A = this chain, B = another copy of it.
């Protein structure tokens, strides 16, 4: 069997990781694939940029056709990022009967179904394990490992930047902006952190996960998103006092063939396995009807972890090629998309409000909860120093999102409610 030639689109951190793994683990790759693997060409924007691997000078090119149209290249690995140009490149690679491995969640969340269909049409593989949770082989686990089960819920810490920030804020009591700055200095947050801290990056990954896990075409617009930038030290302190840890959690939940998918700051009982996922690590918790609770934990980003997932996909492509079964692993979604209405999304909530410190206010608030059909598990009232206000903190019982939003609207109208300081979803029960 002749060697396998790979073309890279992009040669940044992850691309360099791919080159390193292909070089360092060549023996293992040959053992599994039955032939050597080499990187033949890499599309870059700058031929002379300093890179963390030494490369043959003729390896790099500024011209996409040298990767996409070279008949000797078997597999294209896309690690350049971006959406529109990248989509066209990948489509062209597939039309040229090249298999594609991508780490691009932005692309897969938006054009995944189009690209997968194009791959199947061209009898090519399109694998994207690295697009969700970096080094954790979560997509394979959903598709193969839990193939016989019916997955009903997935909860994921799928963004390392925000988990790093929340872990730091929680451990050190520091405010959001200070920790964000530190994360930027340490390279855990981008100069423009918007996509991470606003939850968009996590939302893309949840769209991919829920599409696979529920076998239903979930799009990015279907994911309700709320980021972490409004989380205060007080919120974290109250969470802790009540026995919870705050995490940015992607939740995908299926009940009676209808699903909800969201990304939002969420209070988890501190004994919950996801609550112990620290710093930049990622984890995906999967509930199956038969298997029960499982969790997959590991590095969510980074050059080598992400490259591991990419090269493992490459091994998958090559195994399929040896067996002559490329382009056959994709399965069209089994179900029509049905999203839950707000009346059907049941959740518990944490609510913190400032109210006028007057006699009878608490009893009026409890009355409003009761009128609006939201009961509570816990309520605390504490005077706020040097003000005429007091702070009311509530953890509700399960209520529909519709009822809960009606309640918030009502509270906002009230004279004696000074401000709704914060409101977060709560998952699970704290042990008493």
Is the beta-carbon distance between B293 and A148 smaller than 8 angstroms? Answer: no
Interface size on A, residues (CB 8 A): 61
**In whole Å, how far is A293's beta carbon from the nearest beta carbon of chain B?**
6
Closest 8 CB pairs of A and B: A137-B145, A148-B311, A294-B298, A135-B291, A295-B297, A290-B304, A147-B315, A323-B325
A292 and B273 contact, Cβ closer than 8 Å, known pairs A311-B148, A323-B323: no
CB-defined contacts of A312 to chain B, threshold 8 Å: 144-149
- A:187-245 near B, CB below 8 Å: 215
Measured in the bound complex, the distance between the Cα atoms of B29 and A331 in whole Å is 12
CB-defined contacts of A129 to chain B, threshold 8 Å: 145
- A:141-159 near B, CB below 8 Å: 141, 144-150
**In whole Å, how far is A273's beta carbon from the nearest beta carbon of chain B?**
6
**In whole Å, how far is A21's beta carbon from the nearest beta carbon of chain B?**
5
Set B28, B310, B314, B319: member contacting A150, Cβ < 8 A = B28
A140 at the interface (CB under 8 A from B): yes
CB-defined contacts of A135 to chain B, threshold 8 Å: 288, 290-292, 294
CB-defined contacts of A292 to chain B, threshold 8 Å: 135, 298-299, 302, 304-305
Most buried by B among A294, A311, A334: A294
A298 and B305 contact, Cβ closer than 8 Å, known pairs A140-B141, A276-B276, A316-B147: no
**In whole Å, how far is A139's beta carbon from the nearest beta carbon of chain B?**
9
Is the beta-carbon distance between A144 and B149 smaller than 8 angstroms? Answer: no
CB-defined contacts of A293 to chain B, threshold 8 Å: 281, 297-299
CB-defined contacts of A215 to chain B, threshold 8 Å: 28, 31
CB-defined contacts of A174 to chain B, threshold 8 Å: none
Measured in the bound complex, the distance between the Cα atoms of B282 and A292 in whole Å is 13
CB-defined contacts of A144 to chain B, threshold 8 Å: 137, 140, 144, 312, 315-316
A307 at the interface (CB under 8 A from B): yes
A136 at the interface (CB under 8 A from B): yes
Residue of B nearest to A278 (CB): B271
Is the beta-carbon distance between A21 and B148 smaller than 8 angstroms? Answer: yes
CB-defined contacts of A329 to chain B, threshold 8 Å: 319
A32 and B308 contact, Cβ closer than 8 Å, known pairs A17-B290, A276-B276: no
**In whole Å, how far is A75's beta carbon from the nearest beta carbon of chain B?**
13
Measured in the bound complex, the distance between the Cα atoms of B31 and A291 in whole Å is 20
CB-defined contacts of A141 to chain B, threshold 8 Å: 137, 140-141, 145
CB-defined contacts of A323 to chain B, threshold 8 Å: 323, 325, 328
Measured in the bound complex, the distance between the Cα atoms of B293 and A260 in whole Å is 31
Give A contacts to B, CB under 8 Å.
17, 20-21, 24-25, 27-29, 31-32, 129, 135-137, 140-141, 144-150, 215, 271, 273, 276, 278, 281, 288-299, 302, 304-305, 307-312, 314-316, 319, 323-325, 328-329, 331, 334
CB-defined contacts of A278 to chain B, threshold 8 Å: 271
Is the beta-carbon distance between A294 and B297 smaller than 8 angstroms? Answer: yes
A25 and B299 contact, Cβ closer than 8 Å, known pairs A144-B137, A290-B17, A323-B328: no
Is the beta-carbon distance between A290 and B331 smaller than 8 angstroms? Answer: no
Is the beta-carbon distance between B149 and A31 smaller than 8 angstroms? Answer: no
Is the beta-carbon distance between A299 and B308 smaller than 8 angstroms? Answer: no
Measured in the bound complex, the distance between the Cα atoms of B324 and A299 in whole Å is 36
Is the beta-carbon distance between B291 and A299 smaller than 8 angstroms? Answer: yes
Measured in the bound complex, the distance between the Cα atoms of B24 and A334 in whole Å is 16
**In whole Å, how far is A67's beta carbon from the nearest beta carbon of chain B?**
21
CB-defined contacts of A32 to chain B, threshold 8 Å: 147, 331
Is the beta-carbon distance between B290 and A21 smaller than 8 angstroms? Answer: yes
Is the beta-carbon distance between B297 and A29 smaller than 8 angstroms? Answer: no
Measured in the bound complex, the distance between the Cα atoms of B114 and A117 in whole Å is 41
Q: Could you jot down 19 A-B contacts, CB within 8 Å?
A: A21-B148, A24-B290, A28-B148, A28-B150, A28-B334, A137-B141, A137-B145, A140-B141, A141-B141, A141-B145, A144-B144, A148-B311, A273-B276, A291-B299, A292-B302, A294-B298, A295-B296, A295-B297, A296-B297
